[in-house]
Amino acid sequence: MSNLKELIKQNHDWARRLESENPGFFERLANQQQPEYLWIGCADSRVPATQIADMLPGEIFVHRNIANVVVHTDLNCLSVIQFAVEVLRVKHIIVCGHYDCGGVKASLQAPSLGLIENWLHHIRDIYQMHSADFRDLQTEQEKVDLLCRLNVREQVLHTCQTTIVQQAWQRGQSLAVHGLIYRIQDGLLEDLDLHVSNLESLQQLLPNP
C-alpha cells in the first residue's frame, strides 16, 4: 500500500511540474488528442514510447504487447490501428522492437512458459522462415539480435498488409509505416531502413513470389 501512495504522490508532483512548465497543458489535452504517431512496441517496462521519443502525453498513440507482434487476426491490435488511422489520422506508424527482447530470446529456446508460448510461436515462425540466415551465426547474442531485427521487419509487413493501412493508401491518405529498433544499453533508437508509404514501396519489401 505504501508503494502505491508513493506512486500517487509522484504522479501529483509530475502533474504540478508539467502544468507549471506548460500552463494550461492538461486543459488543452482534455479537449482533444492529435497524435501524429502510432507506436507499436514491446510491453517491456524499459521501452516506454513517449519517454524515449522525448515527447509529451498526447503526442503518441500506443499499442504494446509481448515482442511487438502484429498478428493478422488480433482484434486488439487491429482496433488500435483502425482508430489511429481512421479517426486520429496519424501520419506515421512506428513498429519499434528492441534488442535483448525477452520474448524473442524465449522463442529461440524450447517452449517452457505455458500459455505465452502460443504467442511466441509467431516469432518462431519468423525464425523458421529465415533459418538459413542464422546458420553461420556463432553466438546466442547474434541470433537474438538478428531475430529482433527480422521480427520488426515482419511486423512492419503485417501492419502494411492490414486492410486498414491498405485502404488508407488506396484512398490517398498520407500514412507511412516505419521499422525501428531500440537498444536498452544506450537508450538509442536505430533506423532499420524500413519505410513504407504506399503500395509500391510495400511491393519492394515483399519477398519475390
- Specify the residue, 101 or 152, whose C-beta has the smaller distance to Co ion: 101
Q: How far is the CB of 42 from Co ion (least distance, A)?
A: 3
* Residue 101 or 165 having the CB closest to Co ion: 101
Catalytic site residue 148? no
Annotation marks residue 77 as catalytic:
no
Q: How far is the CB of 144 from Co ion (least distance, A)?
A: 11
121 labelled catalytic: no
CB of 105 to Co ion, least distance (A): 9
Neighbours of 134 (CB within 10 A): 14
Would you tell me which residues interact with Co ion (CB under 5 A)? Answer: 42, 44, 101
Amino acid at 164: I
Q: CA-CA distance, 93 to 36, in Å (whole number)?
A: 9
Q: Active-site residue among 16, 17, 46, 121? A: 46
Catalytic residue (one of 63, 92, 98, 158): 98
109: Cβ contacts below 8 Å, ≥ 6 apart: none
Q: Are 61 and 36 in contact, with CB atoms under 8 Å apart?
A: no
44 is catalytic: yes
Please say if 186 is a catalytic residue: no
Backbone angles phi, psi at 195, to 5 degrees: -130, 120
Q: Which residues are catalytic?
A: 42, 44, 46, 98, 101
